[in-house]
Amino acid sequence: MMRAVLVCVSILSPFTFHLSPLQAQDVQFQDIHYTVDENHLTAEVASNPKASGELLIPEKIVVGQNTYTVIAIGDKAFKGCKNLTTIVLPPSIERVYRSAFDGTGIMLKKENWVDGCLWIDSILIATDKNIKPRFVVPEGTRLIAAGAFQGNKTIQRVELPTCIARIDHETFRDCKNLQKVVIPQTITSIGEDAFTGSGIYANEKKWKKGALILEDCLIATNNDLPAKYIFKNKIPIRLIAERAFAGQKNLKSVTIPSTVTAIPTAAFYNCENLTDVIIPSTVTSVGNFAFYNCPLLKNALLSTNVEQIGAGAFYGCINLKEQVLSDKIEILERATFFTCRALKELRLPAHLRRLDAGAFAGCNNIEAIDLPSTLTFIGEQAFAGCATLRKVVIPVGVASLPKQAFQGCTRLYRIDLPDGLYAIGDEALDGCIALEKINIPKSTFRIGVRAFHNCQQIRDIYLVDHIHMIEEGAFLECKMLEEVKLPESLRLLQRGAFSQCINLQKVILNERLKTIEDGAFYGCRSLREVQWNDSLKTIGAEAFMDCRYLRTPVLAPEVEIGKNAFKGCK
């Protein structure tokens, strides 16, 4: 039934985010599939199951108006491509998955293997049983693929060259006989499970008070970790591996040493009882999901030296009260402070360009936030559920108000929209029950689905003549709205656009409006006057149903009138 559809309420749904730093947008360039990251203008080679022959991966790809740098060969990118015989990788590649070449002609061809190693353009892709037990990775190796040594039972000792910067995830996983890896100072990051299941991991002598430490790198922790952890090592710890503390339920506080410069991806992921982390000023980056779901975390203050905070870094830290954002930060990634309910005040970086999806969603104690003039992009649900937010000024550079941007901001009474804003997205201000007035810029051409649904305090609204689309339920249940004049540019009024505006008394149709869809003014029980036009061709089902004070109009015979269009009218 039409009525059931029109009165439905949109509810803020929880996000589902993945640990991948890339945005899930697939594109194709010169017959190769990629996943691109619009924030950082980078690309990863995605699944290409039909690849064959000789392939040249370019350093850059152009999609639309953007140029992306190709930095990675993704998981299983060419898996099973038996006819793929040659591939040339660009110097921009920073990461390769071993699984990318499983079952390919490249891997199956014996001539491509040298001393138990498969190489592609100075990248060590994989190893087998023919490798030397004591293996020195040659200088000139620019990269070691994720999982390159995984499951190798021959290898016992590995010396890494100074020309590589990362030990990728699962690189030495399940190398049962591996007892030593020489890690040079050039290594700046160690991936998840890089040593899990290896001989090193199984060696109890390598563990100190619940921590596995190799030279100056903290690799992993176990249940012997003390509740209050202070780094103590003969050699100062300079590096923490990804997920090093993840899931440590007994951990309550950590003091990170001043020799550390980065908190890596998911470092404290799901540490349920962690309350305090002392972070030194030497730290310049915080990885994706670094403190994800640390619900008791109260103190993890960053310094003004931090240049980058990853996606979901403080996701679900519901007791985090305070945070500092450096002016060096230009992008706040998706869900950075998602549901940080205790956060009350936060000064945004002066040079912020992007504020991604869900960045502050559910931060229901933030009362005020100043968006810097440099901001050009606001993501979906960026401030959804910020129940105490009262006033917002959208900067001039922002071209559209996205889907659910301020949904459920129940105390928001004022939002200033800039000249140049071309669209107000679906449910952008849905449930902003305190919003009293809205200025729609002259540049706006679209008002999305349920954009102003349940904005109960709006009494009047000026719809500019550039508006071409007032979509389904755009002003559904705007109970205080009294008069509407439809813009001259509007040809179609979509279903339920002004449904259940119970105080709406007067509607002025423009001269060019041809169609009023189903239920457009359903339940507007105070509606007394409609100024009809001669262009009208269709009035949908239940369009004016239960407008009890409205007299049924005299319309031209050619006007198509839907079922129950005027049922309940005088």
pLDDT band at 542 (very low <50, low <70, confident <90, very high): very high
The 10s digit of each residue's pLDDT in 162-194 is 999 999 999 999 999 999 999 999 999 999 999
- Please state the rounded mean pLDDT for residues 563-569: 94
Q: Tally the C-alpha atoms within 13 A of residue 76's C-alpha that lie toward its C-beta.
A: 3
Q: Which tokens hold the place of 79? A: 């898996």
Q: Is the pLDDT assigned to residue 487 strictly greater than 80?
A: yes
Find, among 255, 256, 248, 197, the residue nearest to 223 by Cα. 248
Taking the C-alpha atoms of residue 357 and residue 171, their distance in angstroms, rounded to an integer, is 32
pLDDT band at 24 (very low <50, low <70, confident <90, very high): low
| Amino acid 15: pLDDT | 40
Q: Is the pLDDT assigned to residue 144 strictly greater than 60?
A: yes
Sheet holding 262-263, edge to edge: 262-263, 285-286, 308-309
| Amino acid 51: pLDDT | 95
Q: Is the pLDDT assigned to residue 4 strictly greater than 80?
A: no
Kindly report the number of other CB atoms within 10 A of residue 350's CB atom.
13
Contact status, residue 503 vs residue 480, Cβ threshold 8 Å: yes
φ/ψ of residue 100, rounded to 5: -60, -25
3-state helix vs strand vs coil in the chain, percent to 5: 5, 25, 70
Find, among 549, 11, 527, the residue nearest to 516 by Cα. 527
Report which residue type is found at 48. N
Instruction: Report the percent of the chain where pLDDT is more than 70.
Output: 96
Taking the C-alpha atoms of residue 115 and residue 128, their distance in angstroms, rounded to an integer, is 9
| Amino acid 39: pLDDT | 80
| Amino acid 551: pLDDT | 87
- Please state the rounded mean pLDDT for residues 287-300: 97
Q: Tally the C-alpha atoms within 13 A of residue 58's C-alpha that lie toward its C-beta.
A: 15
| Amino acid 553: pLDDT | 86
Report which residue type is found at 141. T
Q: Which tokens hold the place of 320? A: 């985090």
Q: Alpha-carbon dihedral of residues 440, 441, 443, 448, nearest 10 degrees?
A: -20
Report which residue type is found at 76. K
Q: What is the mean pLDDT of the chain?
A: 93
| Amino acid 11: pLDDT | 32
Q: Is the pLDDT assigned to residue 283 strictly greater than 80?
A: yes
- Characterize the bridge pairing of strands 189-190 and 308-309: unpaired
Lowest mean pLDDT among 20-29, 106-115, 233-242, 516-525: 20-29
Contact status, residue 128 vs residue 148, Cβ threshold 8 Å: no
| Amino acid 287: pLDDT | 97
Q: Which tokens hold the place of 325? A: 């954002």
The 10s digit of each residue's pLDDT in 260-278 is 999 999 999 999 999 999 9
| Amino acid 3: pLDDT | 41
pTM of the model: 0.90
Query: What domains can you pick out in the chain, each with its CATH number?
Result: 26-190 (3.80.10), 204-323 (3.80.10.10)
pLDDT band at 360 (very low <50, low <70, confident <90, very high): very high
Q: Is the pLDDT assigned to residue 13 strictly greater than 70?
A: no
| Amino acid 19: pLDDT | 34
The 10s digit of each residue's pLDDT in 40-98 is 899 999 999 999 999 999 999 999 899 999 999 999 999 999 999 999 999 999 999 99
- Please state the rounded mean pLDDT for residues 134-150: 96
Find, among 554, 431, 452, 562, the residue nearest to 499 by Cα. 452
| Amino acid 234: pLDDT | 77
Contact status, residue 182 vs residue 159, Cβ threshold 8 Å: yes
